[in-house]
Amino acid sequence: MSEPRFATFTELLRARAAELADEDVHVFLRETAGGTEAEHLTYGRLDREARRIAAVLQEYDVAGRPVLLVYSSTVEFLKAFAGCLYAGAVAVPVPIPGEAGRDQRLGRTTAVLGDTGATLVLTETAAAPEVALWLARNSRPDAACLVSDMPGVGDADAWQPVTARPDDLVFLQYTSGSVCEPRGVTVSHRNLLANQAALQKVLHTTREDRFGSWLPYFHDMGLVAHLLHPVWLGTHCVQVAPLSFVKHPLRWLQAVDRYGVTVGGGPNFSYDLCARRVKDEQIAELDLSRWRLALNGAEPVRPESLDEFARRFAPAGFRPEALYPCYGLAEATLVVSGGVPGTPHVRKDFDRTALEHDRVLGATAGGRARTLVGCGTPVDVEVRVVDPLTHHELPPGTVGEIWLRGHSVARGYWRRPTETAHTFRASLNDEESNFLRTGDLGMLEDGELFVTGRLKEVVIVNGRNVYPQDVEWAARTVSPALTFGAGAAFSVDAGGEQLVLVQEVRGAGGAELRTVAQRIQALIGKEFEIPAGNVLLVRPGTVRRTSSGKVQRTLMRGLFLDGVLRGDYEVLTPDVRALARPQDVLFGEDLLRPEGADGGRRW
């Protein structure tokens, strides 16, 4: 069902609007006191609203220029996104900044505003005061804030159709890159259409499919697979707000049941959340039998999570073969590989010690084994496994960096020629050029892609990509005792990926150290939205750096896991303690806590 007749996503959307004017393109389930309230958007209305918004945008001369989109309602977001398409602007989906988005300290959205150089922000009435305040605070009086859902704004008939070319940009994805060094992946019409066609081939989707999502619109898997793929097909998506989902995971499953959702998913942790939070009596009332693809991507897929979800939701008619691990990344627009729909995913046991050294051996009897879940077969993309140092291709069954080439691979990073050349224009074996370096480690075995680890230092927890340098930078702001100390953040695998922060401290001691650590933990837990159960405060000079001053995180991680690195004050989660301090765990817990082992609660 590939449709080569469309040269741009804009053409496709206009054709859908003409053909399916009265059909739903989107249903947003708004959280209310008693549950949710459905708001429907039809293709016809989307087209009309997009023309109206585009007419306003055209007054600002936005063609080819970035426009930030800040929304809480995905109905309003979609209208604005389509408005950008119609005006030839480059949409930049971002989270709500400031207090409401709990983003004041980190300023992710502020970093994107700066990096894009955008002078226009589109938002909705509910978020407008927050956005206006944020722009004023950031001394960007030159940036205009347009409220797209305000009645009487724009005239759909005043819109001047724009002819886009396949290589014009549609949107920027800021899912990779740190706050310190934001990187907007530039996705063109050609990239988007190629990836939509790949999604269809991978997932075997048709117009009969119904999509169900809780992912934010600024997440690549949310935008490309759940919001835009239904448009490409001519069907619709039912959306639960991310906050509603995390508070009440049942809401998503109820949407799957009520709307007959066949395709929908999220990162691995969302399945843990459902299995943990939804009660047996609630499961008994659900019918999940029509759900044919429960996508699991964007963070490492854990076999335990898949098993537990399948077991818990079997009484609701959930089919284990619906569990659908897949692999993709923003730099390739989204999807790279996936399994065969309707068949069980692939699992294989490997020797754990060999994998830890990025080598592959089949598991042996009696040896420590790690079960890896296969991410399926690559579709419409060339995949090579490459030695990251020599840039030579490795033989099958060897772990190396995953390199990609194809029409889905984006053009580069917005206004970053050096990083673009390094990441998107790599040369293989000194002869083939223009490969994308994913920074992920993996291997191909009988055509199945296994992702085994990561070359880049990003930490992935709760489906979030957290960059060590951001954590290190933010931690230093909590106390003057840390201002001049180096820090090293990295992750360890202890029943799931866990963050560890090693931070140098000066001029503080005793009980102060604990207070400092608590402040760091609260900051990371709240602002980065990932657990910070492991903090080591160490003496100056402990954090190793290269002669050029670069923090040696991998080295610090090794020292920590070997039990060599210890803090003057340290707090560790039970899982990580068992990993890095097996001796202490044998003798009884919390031996190293300054308060001693009697801190336990009495009740």
The two structure tokens encoding residue 223: 């935008």
| Dist. CA 322–CA 457, nearest whole Å | 32
- Judged by CB under 8 A, which of 521, 557, 569, 579 binds other proteins? 521
Minimum CB separation from other proteins for residue 114, in Å?
25
Minimum CB separation from other proteins for residue 330, in Å?
22
The two structure tokens encoding residue 32: 């209310």
The secondary structure of residue 174, as a DSSP letter, is E
CA separation (Å) from 385 to 179, 396, 410?
29, 8, 19
Contact pattern from residue 18 through residue 47 relative to other proteins, giving x for each residue in contact according to CB under 8 A and a dash for the rest: ---------------xx-------------
* CA-based nearest residue to 264, from 311, 334, 194, 323: 323
- Judged by CB under 8 A, which of 131, 273, 449, 482 binds other proteins? 273
- Judged by CB under 8 A, which of 161, 447, 541, 574 binds other proteins? 574
Minimum CB separation from other proteins for residue 324, in Å?
22
| Dist. CA 190–CA 167, nearest whole Å | 6
The two structure tokens encoding residue 246: 């995390």
* CA-based nearest residue to 73, from 217, 277, 183, 260: 217
**Does 247 sit near other proteins (CB under 8 A)?**
yes
* CA-based nearest residue to 132, from 95, 97, 174: 97
Query: Which conformational region is residue 38 in: left (phi greater than 0), alpha (psi within -120 to 50 degrees), or beta?
Result: beta
- Torsion, Cα 247 252 254 256, to 10 degrees, reads -170
The two structure tokens encoding residue 31: 């959280």
The piece of 124-132, 323-331, 365-373, 520-528 that touches other proteins (CB under 8 A) is 520-528
**Does 276 sit near other proteins (CB under 8 A)?**
yes
Minimum CB separation from other proteins for residue 265, in Å?
17
Minimum CB distance to other proteins smaller for 33 or for 365: 33
**Does 300 sit near other proteins (CB under 8 A)?**
no
The piece of 219-227, 352-360, 537-545, 567-575 that touches other proteins (CB under 8 A) is 567-575
Q: Work out the number of other CB atoms within 10 angstroms of the CB of residue 280.
A: 8
Minimum CB separation from other proteins for residue 565, in Å?
19
Minimum CB separation from other proteins for residue 273, in Å?
7
Minimum CB separation from other proteins for residue 572, in Å?
9
CA dihedral over 127, 129, 135, 137, signed as positive or negative: negative
Give the helix/strand (H/E) hosting 436. Answer: strand 432-445
3-state secondary structure (DSSP) of residue 354: helix
Contact pattern from residue 479 through residue 518 relative to other proteins, giving x for each residue in contact according to CB under 8 A and a dash for the rest: ----------------x--x------------------xx
Q: Which of residues 438-477 bind other proteins (CB under 8 A)?
A: 461-462
Minimum CB distance to other proteins smaller for 107 or for 533: 533
Q: Measured at the alpha carbon of residue 322, what is the angle toward residues 317 and 327, in degrees to the nearest 5? A: 155
**Does 105 sit near other proteins (CB under 8 A)?**
no
Minimum CB distance to other proteins smaller for 284 or for 564: 284
Is residue 401 within 8 Å of residue 437, measured between CB atoms? Answer: yes
* CA-based nearest residue to 485, from 560, 417, 436, 540: 540
- Judged by CB under 8 A, which of 150, 153, 243, 314 binds other proteins? 243
CA separation (Å) from 584 to 502, 572, 576, 580, 590?
19, 12, 12, 9, 8
Minimum CB separation from other proteins for residue 31, in Å?
11
Give the helix/strand (H/E) hosting 359. Answer: none
**Does 254 sit near other proteins (CB under 8 A)?**
no
**Does 588 sit near other proteins (CB under 8 A)?**
no
The piece of 3-11, 59-67, 69-77, 271-279 that touches other proteins (CB under 8 A) is 271-279
Q: Which of residues 526-545 bind other proteins (CB under 8 A)?
A: 526, 528-534
Minimum CB distance to other proteins smaller for 162 or for 499: 499
The two structure tokens encoding residue 52: 């109206």
Helix axes 268-277, 250-258, angle to 10 degrees: 100
Minimum CB separation from other proteins for residue 487, in Å?
17
DSSP 3-state helix, strand, coil percentages of the chain (rounded to 5)?
A: 35, 25, 40
Helix axes 511-523, 468-475, angle to 10 degrees: 130
Paired sense of beta strands 487-493 and 497-504, if any: antiparallel
Minimum CB distance to other proteins smaller for 357 or for 601: 601
Q: What is the distance of C-alpha 360 from the center of its chain?
A: 27
Minimum CB separation from other proteins for residue 219, in Å?
15
The secondary structure of residue 247, as a DSSP letter, is H
Minimum CB separation from other proteins for residue 102, in Å?
8
**Does 522 sit near other proteins (CB under 8 A)?**
yes
Minimum CB separation from other proteins for residue 279, in Å?
9
The piece of 42-50, 87-95, 245-253, 312-320 that touches other proteins (CB under 8 A) is 245-253
| Dist. CA 406–CA 434, nearest whole Å | 9
Which residues lie closer than 8 Å to 198 by C-beta, 6 or more apart?
Answer: 335, 379, 380, 381, 408
Minimum CB separation from other proteins for residue 321, in Å?
28
- Judged by CB under 8 A, which of 157, 281, 431, 562 binds other proteins? 281
The piece of 360-368, 384-392, 398-406, 570-578 that touches other proteins (CB under 8 A) is 570-578
**Does 133 sit near other proteins (CB under 8 A)?**
no
- Judged by CB under 8 A, which of 252, 269, 467, 569 binds other proteins? 269
Total binding residues for other proteins by CB under 8 A? 40
- Judged by CB under 8 A, which of 30, 201, 204, 248 binds other proteins? 248
Is residue 16 within 8 Å of residue 234, measured between CB atoms? Answer: yes
List residues near other proteins by CB under 8 A.
Answer: 33-34, 102, 243, 246-249, 269, 273, 276-277, 281, 461-462, 495, 498, 517-518, 521-522, 524-526, 528-534, 571, 573-575, 589, 599-601, 603
